[in-house]
Amino acid sequence: MAKGRLEQYLTDLSRGLERARLTANQDLLLKARPTRSYSMRQCARYLNVSYQYLTKFAAQTAGFPPGQAKGRERVFNTRELMTIRMLMAIHAKRPRDYLAWRAPLDPLPVISFASQKGGTAKSLSAAHFAQYLSLNFGMRVGLMDADPQHTLTLYFAGGEEGVGLPDPGTPTMVDFAGLYPNGDLPYTENNGETLDSFFQPTGWPGMRIVPAHSETSEGEIQIARLLRANPPGKRFYRYLRDAIDIWSAAHPPRTEPGDFRASAGTGQGGPLDLERVQDALTETLDVIIIDYQPALTLFQLNNVIASSSLVIPQTMKGFDLATLATFTNGLLGMLQHILAHDRIEIGAGEHMLLPTIVQRSNAQDIAQLTMLMENCPGEILPVFYLRSDAIANAADVYQSAYEYEPETRGRRKGMDRFVDNADAVGDAIAARLWPHLARGHADAWMEAIYAAEDDDNREAAE
């Protein structure tokens, strides 16, 4: 039967848009992936030691990365920073002070960044939090992009060691969850090694991603098909959760953070057993972060059911808060329906609302933020993302504040301010999830913000 005019139009338009999108993204990502470097002082901050201590450690420790000369300083990339962490771990009495890795019996945290509305900085928040955990704690982070727009994927695509641009044949979360048929079977239950192969490398040490592309939208279609087929032994909201459980059981933490010292006869020529280092960085994950599609669908419900914690990035406009209320009420109704028929534990971790793109000069933003903090003090983070032109420039080329290096001094100052903001947000989220990992960035940022507000109020009064 010939296609109708609308069906043919949409088919042709979809193909053309896909070609245009791939060309545009390829132009961006064919450039070398940025490898922002960090000074010795910045490294000391990420390692949570003093500059004097790190300088002394560098002078006394064999195998300390040479870095690169930049002006009068030495600077280090993310892989060299990870090497420094491992060197400090093998010399430390408490190696986890430098590598906050999961212990063998620790559960695997799964954190979803979720919203029903686009434009809330959801992907940006997920990317920055993943990189914050890597820079500050050396965590091995698994990323899952559940959004067919694949913005998170673009944040980590490109570069010599990173994942390439996904194409229609690239496995996505739909494959990971096993939603496609397998011969006569209505779905595919992959083993642990197959599931692990769906994680693609990024340019960040220990960080891997299950990428997304336009066909990630197939997830909803496949769940509708399975609901109609009603296969025994599997509920429609458990596909991703069961797959993560299978992967996690097959890839438990085995290496202790201080186990990288090269033994005699290994031929490493240095203090670290490099082969063991690489194996340890890919043997498991310390946390999984899911970037949710801005929609409340059955496929996205799978992400929520699989998650131990939910972070909801949200702008402070009145209309946006109405959308948030619709999202929370809809999700609550779904969870209550599930729990009435299946007494499973859902979301055993901490959950939080993260205000984003807050404009301090906008009275409505501040009023909405104040009202939420008064009425939902335990549910909303007191730290928030301020609106920033600096990060908007970086996001245009799918780079984070931890990667992007502006060319002018003025723009560098703006980016430095946003890095401080991202550190504060990362610290506030991490402190909720792992209280012992609080670094004080959130408190310092809030003191600075409130001090600036007091100065503004005094100037206005005068």
pLDDT tens for 395-435 read 877 889 998 888 777 778 889 999 999 999 999 999 999 99
| Class level of CATH domain 14-36+77-461 | alpha beta
Q: What are the Cα distances from residue 381, in Å, to 294, 314, 347, 360, 378? A: 21, 11, 18, 16, 8
Question: Over the stretch 67-86, which tens digit does the pLDDT of each residue have?
Answer: 999 888 899 999 999 999 99
How do the pLDDT tens digits run along the chain, 462 residues long? Answer: 455 677 677 777 767 766 655 555 555 554 545 567 899 999 999 999 999 999 999 999 989 999 999 888 899 999 999 999 999 999 999 999 999 999 999 999 999 999 888 888 999 999 999 999 999 999 999 999 999 988 999 888 865 566 677 888 899 999 999 999 998 899 999 999 999 999 999 989 999 999 998 889 999 999 999 998 877 778 999 999 999 999 999 999 999 988 888 875 444 446 888 889 999 999 999 999 999 998 889 999 999 999 999 999 999 887 677 888 888 889 999 999 999 989 889 999 999 999 999 998 888 888 888 888 888 888 999 999 999 988 888 887 788 999 888 877 777 888 999 999 999 999 999 999 999 999 999 999 999 987 766 555 544 445
At residue 270, the pLDDT reads 65
Sheet strands side by side (includes 200-201): 200-201, 208-210, 141-145, 287-291, 110-113, 309-314, 352-355
How high is the pLDDT of residue 71?
A: 84
What is the structure's pLDDT at 249?
97
Q: What is the pLDDT of residue 1?
A: 46
pTM: 0.91
Q: Are 47 and 54 in contact (CB under 8 A)?
A: yes
Residue 25's pLDDT is 54
Q: Cβ distance 111 to 289 under 8 Å?
A: yes
**pLDDT value of residue 384:** 94
Burial of 417 (0-12, 13-18, 19+ CB in 10 A): middle
Give domain limits for the chain.
Answer: 14-36+77-461
